[in-house]
Amino acid sequence: MIFSLAPMEGITGFVFRNGINEFFKGSVDKFYSPFVTPHLKRPMTKRELEDVNPANNKGVTLIPQIMTNDGEGFDSLLLKLYEMGYSEVNLNLGCPSGTVTARGRGSGFLKYPDKLDSFLENVYKSTPDLKLSLKTRIGFETEEVWPQLLDIYNKYPITELIVHPRIGKDGYSGVPRVDAFIYALKNAKAPVIYNGDIYSVDDYKKLIEICVKEAGKEPAGVMTGRGLVRNPALARMIKGGDEISPSERAAYLDFLIRSYRDNIKDDNVVIQKLKEVWVYMQRDFEGKEKLCKKMFKCKDMESFMAFQDEIINN
Ligand SMILES: Cc1cc2nc3c(=O)[nH]c(=O)nc-3n(C[C@H](O)[C@H](O)[C@H](O)COP(=O)(O)O)c2cc1C
């Protein structure tokens, strides 16, 4: 079972990935970068380059993610990533944001199965030994297109099919449509990875149980985003390891603060970064809602860290 970290724009950048890799060693097998969008008229931004720079991702198995519906743009970004030493990339077919889907990208690309098919045909034509995984939702407006999408995916030698079984229009609401995932598990040619709403060992066990019962097999892997931000030891626990201890959490957060400060000059931005992590992490601190509220109001690092310490240790 492969355990991977889902890309989360603004959160799971290289500092976060290094934190998980350093403090929860060996628990996450693969890391996917938040998406990079190719621009034919300008090079990658400093921030995009920094995030996938191998020097910033030592010891981390990183698969860069591309979000586009343009074959030419894909090829040019792929070349750049190859030059940096990457041999595999991931395509984002899941982003539900209105500005992205209106341009026919992310889950918006799923509105146009024929275009998606010819996009895949073209990228494999220009790079025959392309190692490409897909991270996909099960449709945009409706999941009725899912069998058709899967037929298209089955035409190509994709390395992994990562399925977040919601439609684009769902955003993050409701619950994952597990039946559509089971359909993929039964019918996809590529190894199938499950993604969506795995927050606990129990959620994981229930998923595996239903897969075995309904499809007669386990998925090739599980990818989690929000669950791992909330509980950085989640992958370790799923693999049979220990829960996170207060001292371990403190050391991990201290690493994040130090690393963000090494890369970001403005402490206000560093605090903002930490707050984005705490949006998810606070859910594991029932009864400490008032303290969390006060921490979210902090504007200086000293008081932010004092509240953080109190939440973790008392
Ligand atoms: C803040 C945020 C940013 C995200 N950024 C990306 C992204 O850059 N690329 C991507 O494929 N998915 C992105 N996602 C979706 C996640 O990778 C994942 O598919 C989704 O959160 C469901 O998995 P989870 O329930 O384990 O979090 C993002 C999700 C959130 C909440």
pLDDT at 12: 98
Residues 29 and 102 in one domain: yes
Residues 218 and 251 in one domain: no
Residues 56 and 176 in one domain: yes
CA–CA gap between residue 108 and residue 96 (Å, rounded): 7
Helices (H), the chain: 14-23, 46-52, 71-83, 98-102, 113-126, 146-153, 178-187, 201-215, 226-230, 234-238, 246-263, 267-281, 289-297, 301-313
Residue-wise burial string across 229-245, b where 16 or more C-beta atoms lie within 10 A, e elsewhere? bbbbbbbbbbbeeeebe
pLDDT tens across 154-189, in order? 999 999 999 999 999 999 999 999 999 999 999 999
Q: What is the DSSP string of 179-216?
A: HHHHHHHHH-SS-EEEES---SHHHHHHHHHHHHHHHS
pLDDT tens across 137-150, in order? 999 999 999 999 99
Distance 13 CA to ligand 1 centre (A): 12
> Which is the closest atom of ligand 1 to the Cα of 135?
11
pLDDT at 124: 98
Q: Last residue of some domain: 222, 238, 254?
A: 238
Instruction: Indicate the number of domains in the chain.
Output: 2
Q: Last residue of some domain: 188, 220, 238?
A: 238
- Residue list, ligand 1 pocket, CB within 6 Å: 6-11, 34-35, 65, 92, 94-95, 135, 164, 195-198, 224-227
Range of the domain at 289: 246-313
Residues 93 and 25 in one domain: yes
Contact residues for 293 (Cβ-Cβ < 8 A; gap 6+)? none
pLDDT at 261 over 90: yes
pLDDT at 40: 79
Distance 6 CA to ligand 1 centre (A): 6
pLDDT at 30: 98
pLDDT at 248: 96
Tell the residue nearest (CA) to atom 6 of ligand 1: 8
- Mean pLDDT across the chain: 97
Out of 4, 9, 30, give the residue to mutate to test ligand 1, the one with the largest number of ligand atoms within 8 Å of its CB.
9
pLDDT at 14 over 80: yes
Residues 304 and 158 in one domain: no
Residues 160 and 277 in one domain: no
CATH number at residue 58: 3.20.20.70
CA–CA gap between residue 90 and residue 67 (Å, rounded): 9
Collapsing DSSP to helix, strand or coil, 174 comes out as coil
Residues 294 and 227 in one domain: no
Residues 174 and 283 in one domain: no
Residues 142 and 288 in one domain: no
Out of 16, 197, 226, 234, give the residue to mutate to test ligand 1, the one with the largest number of ligand atoms within 8 Å of its CB.
226
Residues 210 and 106 in one domain: yes
Residues 18 and 133 in one domain: yes
Residues 201 and 270 in one domain: no
CA–CA gap between residue 214 and residue 101 (Å, rounded): 32
CA–CA gap between residue 196 and residue 182 (Å, rounded): 14
Contact residues for 147 (Cβ-Cβ < 8 A; gap 6+)? 183, 187
CA–CA gap between residue 53 and residue 192 (Å, rounded): 28
Structure tokens, 201: 């060992």
The secondary structure of residue 169, as a DSSP letter, is G
Phi, psi of 244, deg, nearest 5: -75, 140
pLDDT at 130: 97
pLDDT at 111: 98
Q: Last residue of some domain: 213, 238, 263?
A: 238
pLDDT tens across 23-67, in order? 999 999 999 999 999 987 888 899 999 999 999 999 999 999 999
pLDDT (average), residues 211-236: 98
